[in-house]
Amino acid sequence: MTVRIAIAGAGLIGRRHAEAVSAANGVSLAAIVDPGDVGAEVAMRHSVPHLRSLTDLIETAPPDGVILATPNQVHVDNALECIAAGLPALIEKPLAVDIHGAERIVSAGDAAGIPLLTGHHRRHNPLIARAKAVISDGTLGRIAAVQASTWFYKPDDYFNVDWRRRKGAGPVYINLIHDIDLLRHFCGEVTTVHAMESKAIRDNEVEDTAVILLRFADGALATVNVSDTVVAPWSWELTARENPAYPATSENCYLIGGTHGALSLPNLSVWTNPDRRSWWEPISATKLIFDFEDPLIRQVRQFAAVIRGDEDPLVSAAEGLRNQQVIEAVKLSAATGQSVDLTTTHTAASKP
Ligand SMILES: NC(=O)c1ccc[n+]([C@@H]2O[C@H](COP(=O)([O-])OP(=O)(O)OC[C@H]3O[C@@H](n4cnc5c(N)ncnc54)[C@H](O)[C@@H]3O)[C@@H](O)[C@H]2O)c1
């Protein structure tokens, strides 16, 4: 069965979702929903109907599922409307502008039995599956420490769109949340967060830079450094070659260190001492290989499999909520100067 997916929000990422839906097998684009005229342009390009609201879509031509690529501030209303109409939804990250909103989405989906996914598309990258396998099979030994960098320069006109300057936007909410999703995927649950933020350069309502310390449940520690006002290549965006819009470099942005080896990503090199573990001994790298496929296309194919009832979400809304709890802890720690203990809040979001 071909699964008919509508896209709400014809902006930056909504247009990429439209391309991905068009390119994926077993899926067709049902409609574009956007109150603005950009929606009509995108709909015309894909020869599908344009509607100005989700209500119009649901009343006139309900699809099998909806991708919500709308501004963060309207995700809760959009998601609740989809759930009430019985429509599975893939909700772009962050799920909402605060934990309360994200929890409302997760509990409404659970109560109605409607599958909800979060748009952490990186987890659908075969590179990530390869990295996860090499961590899980023990090649690196026990993970002790991680360094992650999320550095890039967003051009000044990116901030001409009002919501990108306001609470619920900013690189911690918009970008770092993807890195947190991957770090949790690799290292397990985050138990403690300590962070500092700065808006000294751009002076928007939101931060332009943050540095973060994470402790994971099994004792591993991570340092994460994020800035959208640094001209540099050390971010997933500028290294992983997922989105052709970014000029790719061959640099790495994650270093994952274990007792028997270390992994650099995204170049997938595993560093080990071939003979005896020691800083006096030779150390060498093995580059792992994988077959690349656009994670957005894989994500939409997985969404279709979930809609058909064949698979569970790879990244559920509950997972999106957990990522958001870490992000909220970053914001809270930066605001108070205190460490935030997450072991108590995980219980609320512990559903798979
Ligand atoms: N997964 C990713 O890598 C990724 C990348 C970029 C953005 N995002 C997320 O995607 C979402 C959209 O970001 P963007 O940069 O594409 O935003 P954008 O501002 O470029 O586009 C948003 C679009 O949504 C439309 N819109 C507003 N309210 C709507 C509603 N109620 N119904 C339908 N359409 C509505 C707007 O008219 C606009 O065209 C955000 O949540 C953002 O965090 C995810």
pLDDT confidence tier of residue 345, bands split at 50, 70 and 90? low
For residue 15, the ligand 1 atom closest to its alpha carbon is 16
Q: Please give the average per-residue pLDDT across 108-125, as a whole number.
A: 98
Q: Give the whole-angstrom CA distance, residue 68 versus residue 90.
A: 6
Helices (H), the chain: 12-23, 37-45, 54-60, 75-84, 99-112, 126-136, 170-171, 177-187, 295-308, 317-336
State phi, psi for 296 to the nearest 5 degrees. Answer: -65, -35
Rg of the chain over CA atoms, in angstroms?
20
Q: At what angle do helices 99-112 and 317-336 cross, to 10 degrees?
A: 160
Ligand 1: which of 37, 76, 92 to mutate, most ligand atoms within 8 Å of CB?
A: 92
Residue 240: pLDDT above 70? yes
pLDDT of residue 213: 98
Q: Within 10 Å of residue 161's Cβ, how many Cβ atoms?
A: 13
Distance of CA 164 from the midpoint of ligand 1 (Å): 10
Fold equal for 3-122+296-314+321-327 and 126-291: no
Pairing of strands 221-227, 209-216: antiparallel
Residue 224: pLDDT above 70? yes
Q: Domain boundaries in the chain?
A: 3-122+296-314+321-327, 126-291
pLDDT of residue 352: 31
Q: Within 10 Å of residue 352's Cβ, how many Cβ atoms?
A: 7
pLDDT of residue 178: 95
Q: Please give the average per-residue pLDDT across 223-228, as a whole number.
A: 98
Instruction: Give me 206's structure tokens.
Output: 């939101």
Cβ-Cβ contacts under 8 Å for 68 (sequence gap 6 or more)? 8, 9, 75, 78, 79, 82, 89, 90, 91, 92
Q: Please give the average per-residue pLDDT across 101-126, as a whole number.
A: 98
Distance of CA 13 from the midpoint of ligand 1 (Å): 6
Distance of CA 243 from the midpoint of ligand 1 (Å): 17
For residue 77, the ligand 1 atom closest to its alpha carbon is 31
Q: Please give the average per-residue pLDDT across 166-185, as a whole number.
A: 91
Q: What is the pLDDT of residues 41-94, one digit of tens each?
A: 999 999 999 999 999 999 999 999 999 999 988 999 999 999 999 999 999 999
For residue 72, the ligand 1 atom closest to its alpha carbon is 41
Residue 350: pLDDT above 60? no
For residue 8, the ligand 1 atom closest to its alpha carbon is 33
Ligand 1: residues within 6 Å at CB? Answer: 8-14, 33-36, 38, 54, 69-72, 74, 78, 92-93, 119, 121, 161, 174
pLDDT of residue 39: 98
Q: Which residue, judged by its Cα, is nearest atom 33 of ligand 1? A: 34
pLDDT confidence tier of residue 164, bands split at 50, 70 and 90? confident
Mean pLDDT of the chain: 95
Residue 348: pLDDT above 60? no
Q: Give the whole-angstrom CA distance, residue 23 versus residue 305.
A: 16
Residue 346: pLDDT above 70? no
pTM: 0.93
User: Which CATH superfamily, name and number, covers 3-122+296-314+321-327?
Assistant: NAD(P)-binding Rossmann-like Domain (3.40.50.720)
pLDDT of residue 347: 35
pLDDT of residue 42: 98
Out of 2.30.40.10, 3.30.360.10, 3.30.230.70, 3.10.450.50, select the CATH number for domain 126-291. 3.30.360.10
pLDDT of residue 351: 34
Q: Please give the average per-residue pLDDT across 162-178, as a whole number.
A: 87
Residue 145: pLDDT above 60? yes
Q: Please give the average per-residue pLDDT across 124-130, as a whole number.
A: 97
Distance of CA 277 from the midpoint of ligand 1 (Å): 49
pLDDT confidence tier of residue 146, bands split at 50, 70 and 90? very high
Q: What is the pLDDT of residues 184-199, one digit of tens each?
A: 999 999 999 999 999 9
Distance of CA 130 from the midpoint of ligand 1 (Å): 30
Q: At what angle do helices 317-336 and 177-187 cross, to 10 degrees?
A: 110
Q: What is the pLDDT of residues 241-291, one digit of tens each?
A: 998 899 989 999 999 999 999 999 999 999 999 999 999 999 999 999 999
Distance of CA 341 from the midpoint of ligand 1 (Å): 31
